[in-house]
Chains A and B, each alone.
Chain A
Amino acid sequence: MSKQWRWVVLLLPLLAFLVLVGFLMRGLFSDPTELSSALVGKPVPQFSVPDIYDPSQIYTEEVLKGEPMLLNVWATWCPTCRAEHEYLNQLAAEGVTIIGLNYKDDSRDKAINWLNTLGDPYRLNLFDANGAVALEFGVYGAPETFLIDADGRIRYRHVGDVNERVWQGELGQRYRALTGKGEG
């Protein structure tokens, strides 16, 4: 065995160790509860769901087409939804189109009361009482926010609250890339 080869063989375990360290370090700082959505790149699933204020008004997946928008999954039992609500109001005021999907809330009245007191940032309010629509979207908690393009294709999913940091991050960047709106 030549001398050069011996060095390579001696360095291999060190290299393997460093790779392992890098891998485990990444694991330390990643959030295992954050799952990537299986629906990214796919068209929005079919559904039919009533309006939150007017139960006789039924919406289908067609309302999610036409322009880039956010679909925000929320409920009154979700404290993080309360935390992000003010920021959603701000985004709506800046002209960002947001559609609300109320997910398995305690009651319709409670949800409407929330919107009346905290403000309603949503262009449309879908009321998913038994979670059937959320299941189609692969929702596993609240809040979740989907970015949908003008063709009604899901581009991205954010799990957790939407805030300034998130809006400067991937979610906002992707939205701005689609529209050119919502800057600043």
Chain B
Amino acid sequence: MRSFCKATLVAALLVVLAAAVATSVQAQETEVYTFEEPAKDALFKELITELRCPKCQNQSIADSDAELARDLRDRTYLMVQRGASKQEVIDYMVARYGDFVHYQPPMTVATSILWWGPFAVLAIGALVVLVRVRSQRKTEVELSDEDRARLEHLRSAQQEDKDS
């Protein structure tokens, strides 16, 4: 029974995988962007995986089949074909669609917590450890005169026990 379940699961997974591959191949076939220079082709591919589709929540314009993603791919193609640099295309998109459209957010006041937050948490952790270690060390060495006298007394008593 168990192995049967496993087999069906594997089969189902294979079907899903095959379907996914088939649809992605189909999506790629719907439009073809050709460049004469390989450098432009590479730049175009880099840009469409780095630019984010504003209509979709989390897809690059290369992955998305949305109408808007297609428009942005076309625009990117046109700009790259005309010799625009990577930064020019990114600036063009960001000027119209905001920082959302680029998968590498710039450092601003709003995003600074994302960049520095982890370091801040690390620093707080280190501080807590430091304070705790220091406070523990302090309690270890503090002995009053009375304590010292008792310790001395106990030690001599122990010595006497050993001697006898």
Contacts and interface: CB of A to CB of B under 8 A. Distances in A.
Q: How large is the interface on B (under 10, 10 to 19, 20 to 34, 35 or more residues)?
A: 10 to 19
B55 interface: yes
B75 interface: yes
B96 A135 contact: yes
Contact of A1 (B68, B72, B99, B135): B135
Interface of A: 1, 9, 32-33, 35-39, 45, 104, 131, 135-138, 140-141
A39 B57 contact: no
A38 B131 contact: no
Is chain A's interface secondary structure helix, strand, loop, or mixed overall?
loop
Given A140-B55, A141-B55, A39 B96 contact: yes
A131 B131 contact: no
Interface of B: 54-55, 57, 67-68, 71-72, 75, 94-100, 128, 131, 135
A140 B97 contact: yes
Contact of A35 (B54, B67, B128): B54
A1 B98 contact: no
Contacts of B99: 38
Contacts of B94: 38
Contact of A131 (B71, B97, B135): B71
Given A37-B98, A38-B94, A135-B71, 7 more contacts: A39-B96, A135-B72, A136-B96, A138-B96, A138-B98, A140-B68, A140-B97
Nearest to B124: A12
A138 B97 contact: yes
A78 B15 CA distance: 34
8 A-B pairs with the lowest CB-CB distances in the bound complex, closest first: A38-B98, A138-B96, A140-B54, A138-B97, A140-B55, A1-B135, A131-B71, A35-B100
